[in-house]
Structure 1
């Protein structure tokens, strides 16, 4: 059985989360460990409706793929699997992503499983807009989305061994909205997220 050394686990999980933050995959991170154990999240991320204007069918596919990627990756963070295990269908974000984002997200999920951690809390609210469309881009049609992410409280990793919140590295306590810019591409007609860039806290207003 894997023993849990608090400082070592916190340090390595914190490092992994720092990488995840660069992908915009975690929000509302705390700076200390708490003995309190809130119930595991059963919520789904709230996605803002796209304005009711005429949207190109390919752009709509990109929007749908991002929605599915977000929901699946959050499920994977809440129910991580170890390397070599198969993601459950509800958490299979690989269907909606391409490298480098796919492999970076998978590595983070495996890190959570290795250190017996899982995300708990309220998933942040998503407010998506279309920023750029280039369906003639070579080699892949591209759509750039902007997502003004609004934390709904803490959404942080807990140890499944101690039931305590894991201490994170400094500067990961996002409480205000922040902009996530997502590059979506289509490969053989299938849309998926390829990269994510995250702005500073307060970089957008929903």
Structure 2
């Protein structure tokens, strides 16, 4: 009988040790949830693994409790085990709620980032259109300036042609005057001078 009474006590201690480990994991989950959003999202996968482990362990714990009850555990042990199981379930439920909250926050953050990117894209499109319009205006201005320069070049060429003509005419007049002076005698020049005075 002594051996029968010792075996439940050992299993009870093992059960308490397991529950203690479970609460350590729960504390780890709470610390992870208190971290920043990026770390919380990263740790969410670990939370999911812990949830799965808790759920699997709960099934084994319930089977252990029923086995110990069948071997003669007292009602207090059963009640204490049920409280530990309830606490473990509460921890798992809180972890699931925290995980959903993280997913919602991550979804909202993702939507905000996408909205900002879309707005930046629209701003870039508007800026590109404005720059394109400015470039086209500059091209038009350059073409107009090029046309003006060409017209001025043509005017300068015309003026140069006129000046060349006037210069040639002046040279012709000078040459004609020189030829006339050489062909006239001194007396004729004097007569021409007198005739000019008489006319006055």
Q: If each structure's strand is expressed as a fraction of its own residues, which one has the higher value?
A: 1
TM-score by length of 2: 0.24
Which of the two has higher C-alpha Rg?
2
Q: If each structure's helix is expressed as a fraction of its own residues, which one has the higher value?
A: 2
